Amino acid sequence: MLRPGEHLSRRAVSCPSGEYGLVHQHDGNVVLYRNADSVAVWATGTNYQRAVRDSPLVSDPDPAFGRPGRLALEEDGDLVVYAHTGERLWAIGPQREPVESLVVHDWGKIALKNEQGHVLWESPRAPKRWDGWNSPADGHRVRRGQTLRNASLTSANGEYQFVVGEEDACFLCRVDGPVLWHEPIRRGDGFALTADGEPRTVRPDGYALPGIVGPAPDVRAEALLVTDDGLLALVDAHDEILWAHRPKPLAPAVPAKRARPARPTRPANVPELPATEEVPVVRTDFSDDAAWAATAARTTADYFEGEPDDEPWSANVVLVDDRRYAGLSAAQLTALVPADADWPLLVVADAHTMTAPEHDVLVVSLDEDSFGETRRATTGALVEMEINLSLANMDWEDFADEEDFGLIEPMNVENHPHPPTS
């Protein structure tokens, strides 16, 4: 139950019978699970960051990872899901009467109720299911005969949580802090202590396997809990630790960096490209002078966002019409880029350019992280690419989607050139 002013963050609340649990997940989604089979019967759909199983953990470069949002029942009765930034991702409200509580019902729905217990809003009711998993832990420890699934345990000092039921993982984290370790589990699995204190991993159908997050310890415990120093532990009746999960130290995660392609060997007896401030448009096909003239006109023309009265856009390019570059590939041309050139890209007018109706060009990235990558672009798109890449307003990846190798079209300007204004 939540009352106005309270919230859930990477925690869960269950219905009185324990058959259903409402979970605020690490990924930001809020899900009502049926504990018997781990079926999600309702969700807010607010998963704004990656699930725990997809992360390289504490040193993850993603700034959102490890900063949970929350499900809050506001003082005014609004039920709101927040991102870690405070952004409202989902909300229900306002209600026609003051809200007294958010409750999880035994028949599989959540409801906002007023002081008299009348329902002001409720989620759809879940279909009835096997009533196993109905002896849940209290949120602090799993005692003999109790289970833990789609739920969490919080240390007595409130600093650590052990969370079970987020997709295919269980994990231990600091409250309002990073994930410290996680272990894979099968979807729908949970944990239990038998009546005689044996720890078990339990399948949705009740089939039990020895152990909890690792090899089965040979102990008979009174409870499973999270200690004040962040250990998942089995303890005796006096809370003395009988066993604790001690994961291997985590190596710092290094953000993956795309390998830079090796630069090709410079073609023999071919000079470097001219060392100009402008980006070169290199002609490599000499089959049609008229087509080259049209290409040259389009690449040096002015382009407009709307009416010609607007400020024109034009690429800072220079035409390179030299038969010594005939037939060279984009890769070979990159080997001819002068060492002191400060070009963000290279433009190639090849055989495709000469025959294309609008003389689309081949653009080649000279950025360190994407060096040598190529895409086809309209001459209007070339203008936007040259301007924004030269000013470092955008990156190559902003234009060249890794999953889309189609023609790059302009974002703002119209692909209809006008003669240069100067």
CATH of the domain at 395: 3.40.50
210 and 284 belong to one structural domain? no
Structure tokens at 78: 């609004």
Q: What was the pLDDT predicted at 308?
A: 58
228 and 145 belong to one structural domain? yes
Q: What was the pLDDT predicted at 38?
A: 77
Q: What amino acid is encoded at 75 in this protein? A: E
The mean pLDDT values, 10 residues at a time, for the chain of 422 residues are 91 90 91 83 87 55 65 93 91 88 91 92 74 78 91 94 82 89 84 91 80 80 95 94 79 53 77 94 96 95 75 91 94 92 95 94 92 92 92 87 73 76 48
367 and 308 belong to one structural domain? yes
* Residue 191: inside a domain: yes
* Residue 337: inside a domain: yes
* Residue 128: inside a domain: no
112 and 149 belong to one structural domain? no
CA distances from 416 to 193, 304, 359, 362, 400 (A): 72, 8, 12, 18, 22
Q: What was the pLDDT predicted at 305?
A: 78
* Residue 39: inside a domain: yes
CATH number of the domain at 96, please: 2.90.10.10
Per the structure, the complete domain to which residue 146 belongs is given by 141-245
293 and 226 belong to one structural domain? no
* Residue 359: inside a domain: yes
* Residue 12: inside a domain: yes
Please list, residue by residue across 270-299, b when 16 or more beta carbons sit within 10 angstroms of its beta carbon and e when fewer do.
Answer: beebeeeeebbbbbbbeeeeebbebbbebb
φ, ψ at 32 (rounded to 5°): -100, 115
Q: What was the pLDDT predicted at 246?
A: 80
79 and 18 belong to one structural domain? yes
* Residue 134: inside a domain: no
DSSP 8-state symbol, 333: H
Q: Per the structure, how many domains does the chain have?
A: 3
283 and 382 belong to one structural domain? yes
Residue indicated by tokens 């190596």: 251
Q: What was the pLDDT predicted at 95?
A: 84
* Residue 87: inside a domain: yes
Q: Which residues contact 280 (CB under 8 A, 6 or more apart)?
A: 273, 274, 317, 318, 319, 320, 343, 346, 347
33 and 84 belong to one structural domain? yes
177 and 284 belong to one structural domain? no
pTM for the whole structure? 0.41
153 and 87 belong to one structural domain? no
